[in-house]
Amino acid sequence: MPTAEVPLRILVVEDEMTIAMLVEDMLVELGHQVIDLAMRLPRAAELASTADLDLAILDVNLDGRKSFPVAEILGERGIPFIFATGYGPSGLDPAYQGHPVLTKPFLVEELDAAIAGLGLTGEES
């Protein structure tokens, strides 16, 4: 079912290993490359600051800490991101209202649609 014309390099930030692996499998199924999995805020911030990536999928709650500092770093670098949360858009900080949100649990088709909605081609980086 690969739908990606050009594979995107994607960072997955998720503190539950099972969910992280599931999201990774979905992204690979869609034809993308997962550059890394980050399960804690410090590692996520490091990768958001330094990694060569096109997109990030951010769990809002990382072991009790919000991932908004990672979103801020990505925003400063001009790298788009999609939030993933069990709370839906209401779980976002007001500063991030309007950013794409996947409500957990989500299907591969919903992930694909969220990525497609960003209009990324993977060619700009």
Give the residue with greater pLDDT, 100 vs 122: 100
Band the pLDDT of 124: cuts 50, 70, 90.
very low
Mean pLDDT for the stretch of residues 38-63: 97
Asked if 46 contacts 37 with a C-beta cutoff of 8 angstroms, the reply is: no
Q: Is the pLDDT of residue 48 over 80?
A: yes
Q: What is the pTM of this model?
A: 0.92
Which domains does the chain carry?
9-117 (3.40.50.2300)
Half-sphere exposure at residue 48, Cβ-oriented, CA atoms within 13 angstroms: 28
Least confident of 3-7, 17-21, 38-42, 90-94: 3-7
The kind and range of the H/E element at 109 are helix 108-117
